[in-house]
Structure 1
Amino acid sequence: MQGFKDVPRVVWLLAAGIFVNAAVSFTFVFVFLYLTGPRGLGAAQAGLIVGIGGVGLVAGNFTGGWYGDRFGHRRVLLTASALGGAALVVLPVVPTVLLALVLPLAQYASGVVRAANSALVAVTVPEGSRRQAFAVTRSLSNAGFAVGAPLGALVATGLSYDWLFVADGLGTLFFALWTARVVPARAAAAPSAAPDGGLGRGGLWRELRARPAVLVLLGAIVVIDVVYRQHLTTFPLYLADHGMDVKAYGLLIAVNCGVIMLLEIPATLALRRRSPLPIIGTGLLLVGGGYAMLLLGVGAATAVAMMVLLTLGEILYKTTATAYVADESPEHAIGRFQSLYAGVSISGFVLAAPLGGLLYATAPGLLWPLCAVLGAAAGATVLAMGARGVRRRGRPAHETGSPRAAVAG
């Protein structure tokens, strides 16, 4: 664990809170069943509400860092956690007609928390140690979700679906209180009060144009996230159509969680001194390669191989890309850069199901070859940028991710 000595204690404490919160964040798994079951909605109505909630989640990811740069990332995380937690706690008693308002609001707050949390880690940890820090928070988050899914099933069947939302809301409120306690309130640098957030003329777009590799990476992540999330949307349908039941799919998801928990931190340690873009590009190629395995035919062996390759790719690109965007951010806009990455990295949450579902319904034989090609194209593009050594030159000393005495806001 020598490589983690530069990860501040506050990040470990924050990650502990993330684990607890993730362990009770199981409503997203069961929300459709809740709406069509106890709430008595039709599939179309439930799908519309879940879809609006997904848009809210993505919007929260895109805006959370913007709020943090202006008002302080800690303050934004606390506010969004409190609002989102309260919305989830009261959701079981909310009239059905208001569900389309309250559930997306809770999802929006969840997205803001996700972006604010990434920005909080980014401003706490110096460049060179951010990969390890994000690996810690991501590993504990995945561990929490691995515990949460079966726990949620027990709560739903043993108690009621209502308790899922109450537990999730209380977990989110706990995370707000925990963050308030473990993250220092004092600021290393006050948030900018300027209307443009201190970006000056040309704003965020000027900063992005000065960093072409970041722009290319963001585009590649949009593509790969739509591809990656097919394993949560069309892939289980594909398995069912080929005689593999829900239990088999559950075991494959367990493989995903298990490999992440076993290899995420060791892989980050082993590769922490390597150039980030080649690692990211290789990860994207592995995601595409996972879907290419399905071209060999459906069966236990190809399904497991697909999931292992997909997970290895996820381990390589997700943590490294998050840290890379943070390292490339101007100091006064770390939150906005993290919001951009957070938003594109969850874009598949909205796009994967309709795009993949449409293709699977009309031309099922094309879905996996297209996923493989898109993954290969995204990976090759990022690898090419890495080979060119594209990075903004003449980076000022104050933008190199120097250590900070405390967390902003």
Structure 2
Amino acid sequence: MWLLAAGVFVNAVVSCTFVFVFVWLTGPRGLGAAQAGLIVGIGGIGLVAGNFTGGWYGDRFGHRRVLLTASALGGLVLVTLPVLSTALLCAALPAAQYASGVVRAANSALVAVTVPDGSRRQAFAVIRCLSNGGFTLGTPLGALVATGLSYDWLFVAEGLGTLFFALWTARVVPARAGAAPSAALSGEPSAAPDGGRGRGGLWRELRARPALLVLLGAIAVADVVYRQHYTTFPAALADHGLDTRAYGLLIAINGGVILLLEIPAALALRRRSPLHLVGTGLVLVGGGYAVLMLGVGLAAAVAMMVLLTLGEILYKTTATAYVADEAPAHAVGRFQSLYAGVSVSGVVLAGPLGGALYAAAPGLLWPLCAVLAAGAGGAVLWTGRHAVRPAHETGSHPRAVAG
């Protein structure tokens, strides 16, 4: 798991092209804002679709095998992006984003099947911390490469980094660690005709876990709110006289707090109820946006980002581990893929919904964000208080984990 996390860090350093895609399309590629926005939006749909389906492939063919295949294909597509025509970009960029989503889901599933109950929060905290650290380092480096050399080199670097991640994973992850559960000893795809699905369809498994359904719904709502700090929030800063440098400082605060507190928080709170932590984290996200109701100045923006980041630390790692702990052995990948897709749904929805509301009634956006996130957190807290505590919370005998 540590070696896999190291590969995630290196890959995250070079995986910053999505920050610059719109600028690249409207600048060197000469596209209009509407056309560039359409291409970026389609790419976002590809990312969400990859997250939703990556775990399904892993349950059928093995998570390690799926991660290797998606990384290799995604890396090859990224390397070729600078030389493609605009028409081909409309297909290639979503394909690269789809592969990235599959890799994300497969990587989560690999952690879930190789780390036992009771240690997954810490494991996912390590992965997330190193991923954020790589991104925090890579974004300013990417800006230097784009301005000093060319935007094209960003895609080449990310493509090569993704190919490296495929090779690194092949080297450090044992074949049977990422195999489908029914083939965990042989490393081959499941011999069952349905890939193990006969032991319980996904919907049947979810209905047996009502607390998990509440959590997934809350995460879907909260992600649209959370991602406003990537969409409408920088626009609001500009409207209140704070330039891109101020926004860059706030993003640096986000990354710095995560690097400092992600792993210590996971260790200190590992015995606390996961639903209570997730609910509290979502309420903190709502509190961050509530601060902006006092005015969008630098002090309020810093307070908002600190609260948002603390909420993110509490809910993201904990929710990922909770879904892994709740998954039956034959559907770990599908559960992780479902959560992964829900957790990035805001990539598609946050911009259009938040932008439309900000344009029509900017004064309503932050109160609505606060209410929605706090409401989602309250629903999870209520569920955690009234749900029957599962084995991995009570300390009773944990379920077997494949791998």
Q: Give the TM-score normalised by the residue count of structure 2.
A: 0.95
Q: Give the deviation of 1:275 after TM superposition.
A: 1.0
For 1:261 and 1:177, the matched residues in 2 are separated by 26
For 2:391 and 2:135, the matched residues in 1 are separated by 40
For 2:306 and 2:18, the matched residues in 1 are separated by 24
For 1:340 and 1:194, the matched residues in 2 are separated by 22
Return the match for 1:55 from 15, 35, 45: 45
Q: Secondary structure at the match of 2:198?
A: coil
For 2:234 and 2:191, the matched residues in 1 are separated by 48
One-letter code aligned to 1:379: G
Q: Give the deviation of 1:301 after TM superposition.
A: 1.2
Identify if the C-alpha distance between structure 1 residues 392 and 197 changes in structure 2 by more than 3 Å, giving closer, same or farther: farther
Q: Give the deviation of 1:199 after TM superposition.
A: 2.8
RMSD, aligned α-carbons: 1.8
| 1:156-195 → structure 2 map (5 Å cutoff) | 156-186=146-176, 189=181, 190=183, 191-195=189-193
- The answer on 1:89 being equivalent to 2:79 is yes
Q: Give the deviation of 1:391 after TM superposition.
A: 5.0
For 2:194 and 2:289, the matched residues in 1 are separated by 43
Residue range with higher mean Cα deviation, 156-165 or 178-187: 178-187
Do the aligned partners of 2:118 and 2:392 also contact (CA within 8 Å) in 1? no
Aligned to 2:99: 109
- The answer on 1:233 being equivalent to 2:223 is no
Aligned to 1:389: 387
Q: Give the deviation of 1:390 after TM superposition.
A: 3.7
Q: Secondary structure at the match of 2:314?
A: helix
Aligned to 1:344: 342
Q: Give the deviation of 1:400 after TM superposition.
A: 3.6
Q: Give the deviation of 1:298 after TM superposition.
A: 1.8
Residue range with higher mean Cα deviation, 296-305 or 65-74: 296-305
Aligned to 2:186: none
Q: Secondary structure at the match of 1:186?
A: helix
Q: Secondary structure at the match of 2:296?
A: coil
One-letter code aligned to 1:341: Y
For 2:118 and 2:133, the matched residues in 1 are separated by 25
Do the aligned partners of 1:212 and 1:391 also contact (CA within 8 Å) in 2? no
For 2:344 and 2:68, the matched residues in 1 are separated by 22
Identify if the C-alpha distance between structure 1 residues 401 and 16 changes in structure 2 by more than 3 Å, giving closer, same or farther: farther
For 2:219 and 2:398, the matched residues in 1 are separated by 24
For 1:58 and 1:120, the matched residues in 2 are separated by 19
Do the aligned partners of 2:59 and 2:334 also contact (CA within 8 Å) in 1? yes
Identify if the C-alpha distance between structure 1 residues 14 and 233 changes in structure 2 by more than 3 Å, giving closer, same or farther: same
The Cα offsets for residues 354-390 of structure 1, whole Å up to 9 and x where unpaired, read as 0000000001110000000001100000000100134
Do the aligned partners of 1:74 and 1:116 also contact (CA within 8 Å) in 2? yes
Residue range with higher mean Cα deviation, 180-189 or 78-87: 180-189
**How many residue pairs end up in the alignment?**
393
Identify if the C-alpha distance between structure 1 residues 362 and 262 changes in structure 2 by more than 3 Å, giving closer, same or farther: same
Runs (4+) off by over 6 Å: 392-395
Identity rate of aligned residues, in percent? 81
Q: Give the deviation of 1:272 after TM superposition.
A: 0.3
Identify if the C-alpha distance between structure 1 residues 193 and 350 changes in structure 2 by more than 3 Å, giving closer, same or farther: farther
Do the aligned partners of 1:192 and 1:332 also contact (CA within 8 Å) in 2? no
Do the aligned partners of 1:283 and 1:316 also contact (CA within 8 Å) in 2? yes
For 1:113 and 1:401, the matched residues in 2 are separated by 26
Q: Give the TM-score normalised by the residue count of structure 1.
A: 0.93
Return the match for 1:307 from 283, 305, 308: 305
Identify if the C-alpha distance between structure 1 residues 199 and 392 changes in structure 2 by more than 3 Å, giving closer, same or farther: farther
Return the match for 1:155 from 145, 152, 160: 145
What 5-or-longer segments of structure 2 have no aligned partner?
A: 184-188
Aligned to 1:335: 333
For 2:399 and 2:228, the matched residues in 1 are separated by 35
Q: Give the deviation of 1:402 after TM superposition.
A: 3.6
Q: Give the deviation of 1:196 after TM superposition.
A: 3.7
